[in-house]
Structure 1
């Protein structure tokens, strides 16, 4: 049996899938890898076109009847999360703010914790810093590697969403990126996939330089040290199985979104 597995080119995703895609571990099934940016995958998940797909916590609300979230492969911010940056201080109610996409977790987190009714302009996440520099937008929500490089462009941090999340949720991590699997595959196939994926993540964690070097083929920055730092921020203790702590964080994330009318209520399913 072969499953289609869609994930982003971000180094943390490539790092986690490395062993199962390249045959470094024995797997119960074959896997066909598809690589696309997260906002594209968020939209394509609405058609159920992939057996397994990366998905933002926000976008999962639209596909919860088709997909279940997997307990493995999630990206939680343990003490960090999306940042809002600009060239100088701005009024978030009046500024044009770049967003990585309407379906991204960072977009919803900004609306929940910074400014619900801001003028958010969706754009490719890696173009946001340069768009601020050029003056096309006054501020932007940055994710991924750009969180480690924005200061090189003369930008400053205007808001740390994690700080606002912490005030709300205490020591629970910020829910960001997840993987989802089609429920129609059945319990046995899902269980076999989860086992393969967990083993793949564990292999990468035990062979960091090897797996990070592989992930570099998809990286935007050709700096192994930088990309390894990014990987280790988001592939952490919760990546193999986010457990009860991850479930509670997701529950609080969705409860706030429901209460603010930013998402319709739905039943979350985790496998």
Structure 2
């Protein structure tokens, strides 16, 4: 089987046992390491491996060709994207009419940001500038943009750039809805021969193995962690690998339906059949 996921610690931690033959009675896996922007693009064009991790924000565009796997992804609480500024800005209104850098316009982070600005920023922001994730904090620091939307390990490192958090969008979302944030989804091509129930069972075993034997995957995780320190990698795993990774459950599906339903009403994603999520 072929699978694509990111080199981020949460993904390598989750899939280590499965792709290294540590789960009994599973096939061999050919792994492609790809950032989520690339897998989003592949899925939108029905290309790439049969099994991929994409952003939940990209799901409405691809449900005709892919099925959602009910585990293996990333949802959670306290793990939302951040809006950062160089100044210790006190109010969301301070970025009204301003330029904000974002890593993608087809991501959960972007959807949350646009829903938040519609509710909290009078007159909305001025413009969006898409740039590589690792360039956003330096751009904010240098004043090239007025604010930046950041994700993942930037939660743990933004203060080293002298930046300030204007809003934790996860905190806003959780207060507004009481639900976790849907970040990354595992999908399977409908045209493939992959049995989704069987795959889900293998992934759940892989997650449990990772929790039971965290040291076994450590070398693999750090090998792909892009010079991330072990402590930051551990924090990354602790934040993004949780009960929702093992099973979406009622709250997980509720969060997905709420986020994408709101986004569809706001014109941020296409309208979709919620029944296609299961």
- After TM superposition, the score normalised by the length of structure 2 is 0.90
| Ranges in structure 2 where 5+ consecutive residues have no aligned partner | none
1:164 and 1:47 map into 2 onto residues whose CA distance is 33
Matched with 2:46 is 48
1:245 and 1:262 map into 2 onto residues whose CA distance is 22
Matched with 1:239 is 245
Which stretch shifts more, 202-211 or 87-96? 87-96
Q: Secondary structure at the match of 1:48?
A: coil
| Ranges in structure 1 where 5+ consecutive residues have no aligned partner | none
Q: Secondary structure at the match of 1:185?
A: coil
2:272 and 2:69 map into 1 onto residues whose CA distance is 17
Residue deviations 1:114-142, cap 9 Å, x none?
Answer: 34853221112122111211222121111
Q: Give yes or no for the alignment of 1:13 onto 2:22.
A: no
Matched with 1:35 is 33
Matched with 1:179 is 186
Residue of 198, 211, 214 corresponding to 2:217: 211
Which stretch shifts more, 117-126 or 8-17? 117-126
Query: Do the aligned partners of 2:46 and 2:65 also contact (CA within 8 Å) in 1?
Result: yes
1:84 and 1:127 map into 2 onto residues whose CA distance is 14
- After TM superposition, the score normalised by the length of structure 1 is 0.92
Alpha-carbon RMSD across the aligned residues, in angstroms, is 1.7
Q: Give the Å deviation of 1:113.
A: 1.5
Which stretch shifts more, 192-201 or 57-66? 192-201
Q: Secondary structure at the match of 1:253?
A: helix
Residue deviations 1:29-59, cap 9 Å, x none?
Answer: 2211001111111111112222011111111
Q: Where does structure 1 differ by over 6 angstroms across 4 or more consecutive aligned residues?
A: none
Which stretch shifts more, 215-224 or 110-119? 110-119
Matched with 1:93 is 96
Matched with 1:135 is 143
Q: Give the Å deviation of 1:27.
A: 4.1
Query: Do the aligned partners of 2:86 and 2:164 also contact (CA within 8 Å) in 1?
Result: yes
Residue deviations 1:178-217, cap 9 Å, x none?
Answer: 111112235x622222221111111111122332332111
Matched with 1:126 is 134
Pair 1:28–1:22, CA change in 2 (3 A): closer
Q: Give the Å deviation of 1:110.
A: 0.4
Q: Give yes or no for the alignment of 1:145 onto 2:126.
A: no
Matched with 1:158 is 166
1:160 and 1:222 map into 2 onto residues whose CA distance is 22
Query: Do the aligned partners of 1:93 and 1:115 also contact (CA within 8 Å) in 2?
Result: no
Residue deviations 1:47-100, cap 9 Å, x none?
Answer: 222201111111111111011111111211213311111111273332211111
1:115 and 1:132 map into 2 onto residues whose CA distance is 22
2:198 and 2:232 map into 1 onto residues whose CA distance is 33
2:27 and 2:277 map into 1 onto residues whose CA distance is 21
Residue pairs, 1:194-209, within 5 angstroms: 194-209=200-215
